[in-house]
Amino acid sequence: MIYPKFLYSTLLRDITPTFSGTTLSGKPPANATDLLDWSYFTADTGNLDFNMTEDTDIDAVAIYVASGSGTNSIELQYESSPSTYTSLKTFSAPTGTLDIEEFTGVTVLSGRNIRFVITATTTIDIRQLMVGEILTAEQGQWVSASPPAFNSGVKVTNNISQNGSVLGRSIKRLERMGKIQLDWLTDSWVRSDWEPFSAHFARHPFFYQWDPTGHPTDVAFAFAERIDAPKHSENGYLSVTIPIRMLVADSESI
């Protein structure tokens, strides 16, 4: 049995961050939490702080970083007591990285910071950062799609000369296609967990880990194509299905 995981919290998106490093015109810190994969926060070394306006529980972090070079790192911390920061997770050399990592859950109190400590030898292009509580499927399994890490979703166009020679190739990254299907769900889980999630993915993308145990590095930045209403089965359980399109780490794109 496979229990997919989803991270979709938008708590950072609603907060204007502060960054102690250099902010580049057109690539500001807000780009790291806008839920758009094509807008970069281009950062040098510095602290990216998000001040909580209420007590906030977190137990997972996801990053989506464009391919680059250099010895860089991104470390997630939280302000455990005034002006004291505790490390939660560190991503070493994140280039072409799309990852979800869990940690022992903590509560960030109102008025304190969630901090990303960014270390960059030159600069690092960050597509997205997300912090929140992970949603694990109650039961059921992922069905009828190719894992997001498989090389699919690439369009190749050959440029042909007048005499038929191949002059070159244009390679364009497209999104992968797949489906999330969960069966044998209780009514209470669908109402308390799936419905808030579906309200998010109706408008915004989310981080998706289809098989955390068997394929922990297969993570996608996913978009729903439509929302189908949960279906009842004869035994009183429910099932949900959504077709999705997925972007994967730059290192796995062509």
Task: Show the domains of the chain with their CATH numbers.
Answer: 7-133 (2.60.120.260), 154-252 (no CATH)
Average the pLDDT over 177-182 and give the result.
84
Radius of gyration over alpha carbons of the chain, in Å? 20
User: Has residue 146 got a pLDDT over 60?
Assistant: no
pTM metric for this prediction: 0.88
Tokens read off for 188: 């209470």
Q: Bigger pLDDT: 154 or 179? A: 179
- Per-residue pLDDT band at 144 (split at 50, 70, 90): very low
User: Has residue 254 got a pLDDT over 70?
Assistant: no
Pairing of strands 154-160, 135-136: unpaired
Average the pLDDT over 9-19 and give the result.
90
Residue 136 is predicted with a pLDDT of 92
Residue 156 is predicted with a pLDDT of 81
User: Has residue 69 got a pLDDT over 90?
Assistant: no
Who's near 141: CB < 8 A, 6+ residues apart?
1, 2, 3, 181, 182, 183
Q: How does pLDDT run across 188-212, given as a tens digit for each residue?
A: 999 999 999 999 999 999 999 988 8
Q: Given the structure tokens 């190749």, which residue do they identify?
A: 156
User: Has residue 85 got a pLDDT over 80?
Assistant: yes
How far CA 243 is from CA of 49, 88, 187, 218, in Å, comes to 35, 33, 21, 18
- Per-residue pLDDT band at 87 (split at 50, 70, 90): very high
- Per-residue pLDDT band at 183 (split at 50, 70, 90): confident
Residue 253 is predicted with a pLDDT of 59
User: Has residue 4 got a pLDDT over 70?
Assistant: yes
Who's near 94: CB < 8 A, 6+ residues apart?
63, 65, 72, 73, 74, 124
Measured between alpha carbons, how far is 123 from 135 in angstroms, rounded to an integer? 32
Q: Bigger pLDDT: 181 or 27? A: 27
Measured between alpha carbons, how far is 220 from 76 in angstroms, rounded to an integer? 20
Q: How does pLDDT run across 104-134, given as a tens digit for each residue?
A: 999 999 999 999 999 998 889 999 999 999 9
CA torsion sign, 12 to 37 to 142 to 215? Answer: negative
Residue 153 is predicted with a pLDDT of 65
3-state secondary structure (DSSP) of residue 197: helix
User: Has residue 145 got a pLDDT over 50?
Assistant: no
- Per-residue pLDDT band at 214 (split at 50, 70, 90): confident
Measured between alpha carbons, how far is 163 from 161 in angstroms, rounded to an integer? 5
Who's near 95: CB < 8 A, 6+ residues apart?
65, 66, 67, 68, 69, 70, 72, 124, 250, 251
Measured between alpha carbons, how far is 194 from 159 in angstroms, rounded to an integer? 47
Give the number of other CB atoms < 10 A from CB of residue 219: 27
Q: Bigger pLDDT: 86 or 23? A: 86
Measured between alpha carbons, how far is 106 from 122 in angstroms, rounded to an integer? 32
Phi-psi region of 70 (alpha: psi -120 to 50; beta: other; left: phi over 0): left
Q: How does pLDDT run across 35-67, given as a tens digit for each residue?
A: 999 999 999 999 999 999 999 999 999 999 998
- Per-residue pLDDT band at 11 (split at 50, 70, 90): confident
